[in-house]
Amino acid sequence: MKALRILSRSIRDSFKSVGRNFSLSIAAITCSTITLILVAISIILTYNVQEITLSLERELTVVAYVKKDSEDANIRTIKKELDQIPEIDKYVFKSKEEWKAEMKNESETLNTTLDYLEENPLLDSFIITVKNVNDLKGVTEKVRSYEFISSAEYGEGMVENLVGAFDIISKGTMVIVIALILVTAFLISNTIKLTIFSRKNEIEIMRLVGTSNTAIRLPFIFEGFILGILGSIIPILVTIYGYIILYDKLGGHIISNIITLVQPFNFIFFVALILLGVGCIVGMFGSYRAVRKYLKI
């Protein structure tokens, strides 16, 4: 009962003091608004970059050519062997006729050349997709060793560079997001510290009359929570409307159709939730840290 009274008074007092210390509250809210907008932008960027790299990685395949004049039985053997490699996500058999048709479509010169040849010079092949892009090399080597396979390619060199670059980009953006969240935490908690500094008399008097440390902290922690919520309103609106408008304007793609943006729905709500969470937690933590300083002798 007593704890409940202390709790309800803390909540009441926290609302009161947000209003009473209006200019400092505004400072804290503005500060969190600006930093949270930066956080939102970087989360959206990171998430999109990661989605793009994942989708590009999915496009990477191994092409294994079957030896010339292989019989159907041989191809079945290869299929069985491929079924046994756990790293393979899926594979598609592409016959030499399909290749021929595709190449004839591609250019006029190829068309006439292929028509001129009596026999189809191309090879039957398997197009293999792996589950993890790092397994490309291993799978290629394994497939190469098969009896009825003449060669297997995955774009050596280029693929490694590409995967390496993706890795750096996604790790780099993650670092930026984490750094930004830390900077936000620091900025917001410092601003709250300023607001509490101006009220250290209040804390001193509370201590003097025998208020427990928890009861002193509570209203300040609630205040931090309220400031966190108020500070995340604008960033959340900016994120939701900004991303929807951006997505519509770009038609969901950047540069070409290969690079697609993350669908706005659910994703932006997820980002909004993160912003709200970061705002509240940082606000509460900032207050906690700031008050602690005045609770020591």
Partner 1 sequence: MKLIQVSNCYKVYKNGTTALADLNVTIDKGEFVFVIGSTGSGKSTFIKTLYREEKPTKGSVIVGGINVAKLRNSKVYKLRRKIGVVFQDFKLLPKLTVYENIAFALESLGMESKAIRPQVLKAIEKVGLKEKARNFPNQLSGGEQQRVAIARAIVNNPKLLICDEPTGNLDPDTSKEIMKILENINQELGTTIIMATHDKDIVNRMKKRVLVIENGVLAGDYLKGSYKAHESIKNS
User: Residue 36 or 206: which CB sits closer to partner 1?
Assistant: 206
Interface pattern 73-102 for partner 1 (x via CB under 8 A): ------------------------------
For the CB of residue 297, give the shortest distance to partner 1 in the complex, in Å. 6
What is the residue-wise DSSP string for the chain? -HHHHHHHHHHHHHHHHHHHTHHHHHHHHHHHHHHHHHHHHHHHHHHHHHHHHHHHHHH-EEEEEEPTT--HHHHHHHHHHHHT-TTEEEEEEE-HHHHHHHHHHH-HHHHHHHHH-SS-----EEEEEESSGGGHHHHHHHHHTSTTEEEEE--TTHHHHHHHHHHHHHHHHHHHHHHHHHHHHHHHHHHHHHHHHTTHHHHHHHHHTT--HHHHHHHHHHHHHHHHHHHHHHHHHHHHHHHHHHHHHHTTBSSSTTSBPPPSTTHHHHHHHHHHHHHHHHHHHHHHHHHHHHT--
| Contact residue for partner 1 among 64, 206, 236, 280 (CB under 8 A) | 206
User: Residue 7 or 229: which CB sits closer to partner 1?
Assistant: 7
Please report whether residue 211 would count as binding partner 1 according to CB under 8 A.
Answer: yes
User: Residue 113 or 212: which CB sits closer to partner 1?
Assistant: 212
For the CB of residue 160, give the shortest distance to partner 1 in the complex, in Å. 58
Six token digits for residue 122: 């191309």
Interface pattern 172-201 for partner 1 (x via CB under 8 A): -----------------------------x
Please report whether residue 6 would count as binding partner 1 according to CB under 8 A.
Answer: yes
Strand partners, 127: 63, 92
For the CB of residue 223, give the shortest distance to partner 1 in the complex, in Å. 15
Please report whether residue 3 would count as binding partner 1 according to CB under 8 A.
Answer: yes
User: How many residues in the shown chain lie near partner 1 by CB under 8 A?
Assistant: 23
| Contact residue for partner 1 among 107, 132, 212, 263 (CB under 8 A) | 212
Stretch that binds partner 1, among 65-73, 79-87, 188-196, 213-221 (CB under 8 A): 213-221
For the CB of residue 281, give the shortest distance to partner 1 in the complex, in Å. 23
Return the closest-CA partner of residue 141 out of 235, 34, 64: 64
Stretch that binds partner 1, among 184-192, 208-216, 255-263, 276-284 (CB under 8 A): 208-216
User: Residue 178 or 205: which CB sits closer to partner 1?
Assistant: 205
Return the closest-CA partner of residue 14 out of 244, 275, 258, 228: 228
Residue 276 CA neighbour count, 13 Å, CB half: 10
| Contact residue for partner 1 among 28, 216, 274, 280 (CB under 8 A) | 216
| Contact residue for partner 1 among 182, 183, 205, 245 (CB under 8 A) | 205
- Residue 183 near residue 274, CB atoms below 8 Å: no
Please report whether residue 15 would count as binding partner 1 according to CB under 8 A.
Answer: no
Residues interacting with partner 1, by CB under 8 A? 2-3, 5-6, 9, 20, 201-202, 204-213, 215-216, 295-297
